[in-house]
A and B are shown apart, each in its own frame.
Chain A
């Protein structure tokens, strides 16, 4: 598969940021309910994350769908690994699995226990 600038950017983003979220809009102004839900989960857990707004960049929007062969946005990556979209992240959060997963990955959670 040929390397595109968007693909290179994604590879760099997920390598440099322990928790990387591809979303529509920004954490403060999400442009989609599914993106907002993932931001809410991460905030609830007190996870520091970096985000990229796919609405600002059509190449990134297409590129991220191809990168993990996943058709929808948002997409959450932890330590370079694709964790899932909104449904999976929410399900993992509700079962407490996400908390454990992040801790196992060495991600600091700043929520008050």
Chain B
């Protein structure tokens, strides 16, 4: 049921095409990842809104299929 780092990256890029995405598999178990996402789409958005955009990109898998995604977002200039 776990997601691969490549699947996560693909899903995020599909929603945020300009994004720089860096995924780290924290535990090596395909279930605990850290993601760094940098996109110009985040401009003017609060952190909560930015994180929601990434969660939306993962369309419902966050919190279910994907147990843990440590997320950091920032705005691309």
Chain A's nearest CB lies how many Å from the CB of B41? 18
Q: Can you list the 8 inter-chain pairs with the closest CB atoms, starting with the nearest?
A: A71-B63, A71-B62, A72-B63, A88-B47, A87-B71, A84-B48, A71-B55, A87-B70
Contacts A82-B48, A85-B51, A88-B51 given; does A72 touch B62 at CB 8 Å: yes
A69 engages B52 (CB within 8 Å): yes
A87 engages B51 (CB within 8 Å): yes
Q: Which of B47, B63, B64, B72 has the most CB of A within 10 A?
A: B47
Nearest-neighbor residue (CB-CB) of A86 within chain B: B70
Main secondary structure of the interface of B (DSSP, over half): mixed
A 74-101 to B, binary, CB cutoff 8 A, 1 in contact else 0: 0000000011111110011000000000
Task: Give residues 21-77 of B contacting A (CB, 8 Å).
Answer: 47-48, 51-52, 55, 60, 62-64, 68, 70-72
Nearest-neighbor residue (CB-CB) of A33 within chain B: B68
Judge whether A65 is part of the interface by a CB distance below 8 angstroms: yes
A34 engages B71 (CB within 8 Å): no
- In Å, the complex CA distance between A70 and B64 comes to 12
Inter-chain contacts of B48 with A (CB < 8 A): 70, 82-84, 88
Chain A's nearest CB lies how many Å from the CB of B22? 15
Inter-chain contacts of B47 with A (CB < 8 A): 84, 88, 91-92
Inter-chain contacts of B72 with A (CB < 8 A): 87, 91
Supply 16 further A-B pairs (C-beta < 8 A) apart from A71-B64, A91-B72: A69-B52, A70-B48, A71-B60, A71-B62, A71-B63, A72-B62, A83-B48, A84-B47, A84-B48, A84-B51, A87-B70, A87-B71, A87-B72, A88-B51, A91-B47, A92-B47
- 23 A-B pairs within 8 Å (CB atoms) are namely A34-B68, A65-B63, A69-B52, A70-B48, A70-B52, A70-B55, A71-B55, A71-B60, A71-B62, A71-B63, A72-B62, A82-B48, A83-B48, A84-B48, A84-B51, A85-B51, A86-B70, A87-B51, A87-B70, A87-B71, A88-B47, A88-B48, A92-B47
